[in-house]
Amino acid sequence: MTPDKMPLALYVHWPFCVSKCPYCDFNSHVRDQVDQQAWRDSLLADLAHEARALPGRTLGSVFFGGGTPSLMPPATVAAILDAAQRAWTPAADIEITLEANPSSVEAARFADLAAAGVNRVSLGLQSLDDAALGFLGRAHGVDEGLAALATAQRHFARVSFDLIYALPDQRLAAWEAELARALSFGTEHLSLYQLTIEPGTRFATEAAQGRLAVPDGDRAADLFEATRAMTAAAGLPAYETSNHARAGAESRHNLTYWRYGDYAGVGPGAHGRRDALATQRRRKPENWLAAVARNGHGIEVEEPLTPHERATEALVMGLRLREGVDLTHVAALAGGSAPIDWTAVARLEAQGLVAREPDRLRVTEAGALLLDAILPLVVRDAPETVRAA
């Protein structure tokens, strides 16, 4: 299915947080005051610009990310959803996700957010250990987080939560016990991320000073393999490198990114892909607000992508999926043959790391651990990163 035939995805970025986590390199900011009316009006204006650029589409998903979008007033969420579903035709099973911090203050908004139209929530629990939460700079404790999870399960049909593992000195047995507890809560989806040291974060500074060390490659591999085995055994296999779900409970919004469909991004720093154009909004909240007031949108970059760039992006994104990539789709994006090194594919296939199927290429379970090494071998001129939002 070509991108223009896939349901459109809408990403809405709320850039504000109560505090900045030491591992976070997302576009998040701490502000003492937020002019809620100005932000609502500006987000609606930014959305309207995208609606004019992408007329006549079916809207398959909306994702409120951040930052901490659970700090948004529910009335703002409702206004954005109303505008989006008037601009485009909502799919009958439209997925509307909001990322939330698991604090008691934000959990108190869950009923109103559900009433506004949110039908899926992604909770940033991050750990089920109070000491680890302190290390990660989280403001909540385990008990508060689990209370928020219970509240979310009462109000939303679909619930996911995040955990971060491969922390300094984390042992395999401790992670297995934590993951077993996480799986016992009965959510349909888990996002499980190994801690990575991102440039520009406080953790990057501490690592450079020798005050922070993550597990070495062998120990991290053991943790990764245990994660895949336990989630699969529990009926939530990995459908993407870090995401695990029951059959049918995959994040449809994120699948649009990984399958390289069109998505509109509004709000500070949001990226988009539409009609072979790459868009990016201004990152700093004040600069984005000023741009919307001046231009009617917050776009800083809007540039055409070459067929080769689109095809390589589609490969880099799609090979993260257990299902792999549709080679017919990639070839259509490329305007010819897919930019794949078939000699490397043959060598990796002989090693059991990738599998070639009719019109499809995928990384095997054995290759999943080596994905970062496989991509530059398979994909000609692979971009270093492809970020969705």
Digit-coded pLDDT (tens) for 115-140: 999 999 999 999 999 999 999 999 89
Residue 231 corresponds to which tokens in the numbers above?
């989630």
Q: Are strands 299-304 and 325-326 parallel, antiparallel or unpaired?
A: unpaired
Q: Give the pLDDT band of residue 2 (cuts 50, 70, 90).
A: low
- What residues form DSSP beta bridges with 274? 277
Residue 388: the pLDDT is 38
Judged by average pLDDT, the poorest of 1-10, 225-234, 333-342 is 1-10
Residue 384 has pLDDT above 70, yes or no: no
Identity at 154, one-letter amino acid code: R
All structural domains of the chain, each given as residue ranges with its CATH number in brackets, are: 8-258 (3.20.20.70), 308-378 (1.10.10.920)
- Reply yes or no on whether the pLDDT at 304 is more than 70: yes
The residues near 341 (Cβ < 8 Å, ≥ 6 apart) are: 377, 378, 379, 380
Question: Residue 2 CA to chain centroid, in angstroms?
Answer: 22
What are the C-alpha distances in Å from 151 to residues 104, 105, 119, 157, 158?
A: 9, 12, 14, 12, 12
Alpha helices in 54-171 (DSSP H): 74-87, 104-107, 110-116, 130-135, 142-155
Report the pLDDT value the prediction gives residue 389, as an integer from 0 to 100.
36
Instruction: Provide the mean pLDDT of the chain.
Output: 94
* Sole residue written with tokens 């440039």: 199
- Cβ-count burial of 358 within 10 angstroms (0-12 exposed, 13-18 middle, 19+ buried)? exposed
Whole-prediction pTM: 0.94
Per-residue pLDDT band for 387 (boundaries 50, 70, 90) equals very low
